[in-house]
Chains A and B, each alone.
Chain A
């Protein structure tokens, strides 16, 4: 079954139309990269898919595993297996990472008809998944994202993804603000989470992430639509040419 089918999606943010007829098909096991210049609608797409309140869909439809996704509340989408890694993860002081995740994981398990995990099982699971993204175990016990460095926050997002085990993971600019070492660790974590069942959408401005997480498909967004799609070589082309050619003008030298 198709994982995600986006058809002619139009969406407004604060009354301004950002997505203007976007269509996209994602199958299980595939990694799709969504690239594009700032303001092209990449992050809006990610947030619309996760159900952010205030992001208003005016036209089009989104089918997730054959079901209407847009009618679901954000938490229902999460429980159905949609995960969004935030570009700017939120700090939640006073609430430890593992307790927060346990509440989330058990909400999801309950929805799926699975028994809730007890504290011991959950800690064992956390330990295993933290190792996957090289997140120091100490950070899993600290308050959610509080006092984390930029890299630690991003690693924590991938750690959460690993624990919550989504069918569709959307990573919103997970590479932004990371130095090369942090980028490598995050990317390796994501690669370990690639499975034939899971689909991943990588939203990114730069090609650099795609050196580490090699996508099956690359889509270039411009002005709220997919301007062009291709294989991983499209990303390299973009790296060389920049986004300026999308404006249907020849790219002047040095405009990147």
Chain B
């Protein structure tokens, strides 16, 4: 993959000779040993082991230093286990199947500040934009470097919906969270998930009461600043028959070398309906790793819109488990990468119960020498008869240097199901470009219009106007054609 600039100096512990992870493992093998293949393999393994230990050491130290006393026993042991798991797994390498196309070496080599509270000063100017121009006033919780900021939040119009800081909940009423942390995000092989569980200090707890429909959308805004590592955690509980729209956005002021490692868990009761929007538009130098995991009971309906627009390296694992009969999910995604950005989405739709429906549409627009990864797995478990699953991944390459890996996978263990998947990758259509130019539009405007058209079916599904307009604005700016791209059809 293309080089991503390492934003801050390499930590001392990863100095040459101590086995920094790289493609040059071979070159770093000590000289003068015998070269029997078995011996070489042992050496390599030992080196990897040393590398892993060196990489995780500062993180484990930060975990230890940040450890709060007085946490309930279930949480303390959850953290111990997670921390041990992270120490064992280390940062993933491209030898790990799930990370084959995504090297996090620039991230694992970077030293971050682990302070949970960062300065907001450098984000103040950008704040109105982060807030979608005030569209969520009264229904907005703001987090800076993973920490709830009551003075920036406005939660006066929530009526019966509960939005609380996870930290406050842990202090005041920790046992309501017992059994919920990790209830959906339970992939034990995911190092960043382990890191989040060990490290999270705060986040959002959203609970929508039974049979209560929230009309106005709720916004959870996560701002990362400076060279801070943060691990926000969101827990959304949709009780039976509840309905809501929740927007999570992840941002950082331009130039920030932050690392945001977010986890969102969604638990959906019978018949609950959630429109869950995720907009990641962090600074072009930031690292963003996230897991969104949802569990669906009977007839629950979960829609996830994921817009991956920013960061130097962004990885999103999206896992939806349809555990109740008749549950349905729709995953709607767009990533737009440019320069040397890397956008990786791994989605997994797990059909556990019969009569489940899933629809997935992911689109990628890649410019510059950016990289995209879209791995989509659909699992149909033995009992999940009458499953109806469709998945499509479509990518548009805008430059010769851009590259996308699109891998749809089906694992079907039931015999009475309908499953369809497809992946396409292409460039802008020459005839379409000519068509638009033959009407008087210049080439840049014509190209912008066609990219816009390509992304439109994903963008137009965003029901929250302020979010949709902001994504449209982003695309317009990215396409460098302000004014040339008309609005969406009436």
Contacts and interface: CB of A to CB of B under 8 A. Distances in A.
A105 B486 CA distance: 13
Which of A52, A75, A142 has the most CB atoms of chain B within a 10 A radius of its CB? A75
Nearest to A75: B437
Given A86-B435, A94-B459, A99-B487, 19 more contacts: A52-B438, A73-B437, A75-B440, A75-B441, A75-B443, A78-B438, A90-B431, A90-B435, A93-B456, A95-B488, A96-B490, A99-B486, A99-B489, A100-B436, A100-B439, A103-B449, A107-B440, A107-B441, A141-B489
Contacts of B42: none
A204 interface: no
Contacts of A86: 435, 438
Interface string B401-436: 000000000000000000000000000011110111
A39 interface: no
B460 interface: yes
A196 interface: no
Interface in A122-181: 141-143, 160, 164
B442 A142 contact: no
A51 B435 CA distance: 10
Contacts, number: 103
Interface in A48-98: 50-54, 73-75, 77-79, 83-84, 86, 89-90, 92-97
> Which 10 pairs from chain A and chain B are nearest by CB?
A94-B456, A99-B486, A96-B489, A78-B440, A74-B437, A104-B439, A90-B435, A107-B440, A104-B440, A90-B432
A141 B490 contact: yes
B486 A103 contact: yes
B440 A94 contact: no
Q: How large is the interface on A (under 10, 10 to 19, 20 to 34, 35 or more residues)?
A: 35 or more
B259 interface: no
Which of B432, B442, B450, B486 has the most CB atoms of chain A within a 10 A radius of its CB? B486
Contacts of A142: 489
B322 interface: no
B445 interface: yes
Contacts of B460: 94
A89 B484 CA distance: 21
Interface of B: 429-432, 434-443, 445-446, 449-450, 452-453, 455-457, 459-460, 484-490
Contact of A100 (B434, B486, B490): B486
A3 interface: no
Contacts of A75: 437-438, 440-443, 446
Nearest to A100: B486
Which of B455, B484, B488 has the most CB atoms of chain A within a 10 A radius of its CB? B488
A141 B490 CA distance: 6
A108 interface: yes
B190 to A, nearest CB: 35
28 contacts: A50-B434, A52-B438, A74-B434, A75-B438, A75-B441, A75-B442, A78-B438, A86-B438, A89-B435, A92-B449, A92-B453, A93-B453, A94-B456, A94-B460, A95-B449, A95-B452, A95-B456, A96-B486, A96-B488, A97-B489, A100-B439, A100-B449, A104-B441, A107-B441, A107-B445, A108-B440, A111-B440, A141-B490
A178 to B, nearest CB: 19
B487 A84 contact: no
A219 interface: no
Given A92-B436, A92-B453, A100-B486, A107 B459 contact: no
B457 A94 contact: yes
B430 to A, nearest CB: 7
Contacts of A50: 434, 438
A142 B488 CA distance: 9
Contacts of A105: 440
A102 interface: yes
Which of A53, A83, A86, A103 has the most CB atoms of chain B within a 10 A radius of its CB? A103
Nearest to B450: A92
Contacts of A141: 489-490
A143 B489 contact: yes
A173 B443 CA distance: 26
B430 A54 contact: yes
A83 B438 CA distance: 7
| Interface SS, A side | helix
Contact of A84 (B429, B432, B438): B438
B430 A53 contact: yes
Contacts of B446: 75
Contact of A52 (B434, B436, B450): B434
A83 B452 CA distance: 24
Contacts of A83: 438
Given A52-B434, A53-B430, A89-B435, A95 B486 contact: yes
B361 to A, nearest CB: 13
A166 to B, nearest CB: 10
Contact of A94 (B435, B436, B452): B452
A51 B438 CA distance: 8
Contacts of A96: 486-490
A160 B460 CA distance: 25
Interface in A8-66: 50-54
Contacts of A95: 449, 452-453, 456, 485-486, 488-489
Contacts of B450: 92
A97 B456 CA distance: 14
A47 to B, nearest CB: 8
A141 B457 CA distance: 16
B197 to A, nearest CB: 40
Contacts of A94: 452-453, 455-457, 459-460, 488-489
B440 A53 contact: no
Contacts of B430: 53-54
Contact of A93 (B429, B436, B457, B484): B457
A102 B486 contact: yes
Nearest to A144: B453
